[in-house]
Amino acid sequence: LKAGWNDLVLPFDQAASNGLNKTKINFFRLYNIAADPNLMYTMKVSDVKIIRMEDTLKMPSHYTGNMLFQQNKPIVLTGTAGAGHTIDAAIYNGSDQIASASATAAADKSWSVSLPAMKGGYTKYTIKIRDNGEEAKTLENVVIGEQWLASGQSNMEYYLERDPEGHDMIVNGPHDEYIRAFLMPFSPDGNLPSGNVPYEPKDSVKSGHWVTGEDGASLGQMSAIAYHFAVKLRQELDVPVGILNTD
């Protein structure tokens, strides 16, 4: 636990398999072992709910903070939630709402919301998604620009940190926050190279996440070719550039 409010999820379904009757829960205790046994603190618990985890809103791993959406194309958000749930999405510039849209989760729990297309630029947006009126997911530091897919074999895979110019950039800069990269593990299932590679397309990739050009250490795992390509596009197009690093 950290200072301030914390969101906790307790896996009651696992406990139910061991004989727990969820309908008869009237109290529970939270334990936090402090590093300093003499430390005294106060804990308050509020807004306690018992919900079906399979009905909670979920989105594929490529929907995270720091992501980039393709300019001049609709901003499409997808995921799953309880069948019949109302999903609301809105994009904000600071506290100003720019656009919003809604959808209803289908019988198979899938949903898709499309926000209007936007021009590329250096404004940092926040996208908020609500599930039946309750805030369920927030994407921060989102930008609009050019998005490209980088994929290939060993030449494309060659890491930026192994490139002399790339290694110097990681250590000394410049670090461009408007270069974005979605980094994927070697295996789409998140395993080591000897692990399984799925035959069918995946909606989500374990450990996949977006980083910015300010995170030089993480960017070192990006394709060197793709990074230099992104730098060139930034100079020529004057918009943020995002790379889907899938080599």
> If you write DSSP's letter for every residue of 12-34 in order, what string do you get?
HHHHHTTT--GGG----------
Confidence of residue 139 (pLDDT cuts 50, 70, 90): very high
Q: What is the pLDDT of residue 234?
A: 95
Mean pLDDT is lowest, of 20-24, 108-112, 144-148, 201-205, for: 20-24
pTM for the structure as a whole:
0.76
pLDDT at 14 over 60: no
DSSP tally for the chain: helices H, then strands E: 5, 10
In contact, 23 and 15? CB cutoff 8 Å: no
pLDDT at 135 over 90: yes
Structure tokens at 90: 């809105």
SS3 of 47-109: CCCCCCHHHCCECCCCCCCCCEEECCCCEEEEEECCCCCEEEEEEEECCEEEEEEEEECCCCC
| pLDDT, tens digit, 9 for 90 and up, residues 54-71 | 778 999 999 999 999 999
Phi, psi of 42 (to 5 degrees): -110, 135
What average pLDDT does this structure show over 213-220?
85
Q: What is the pLDDT of residue 113?
A: 98
pLDDT at 174 over 90: no
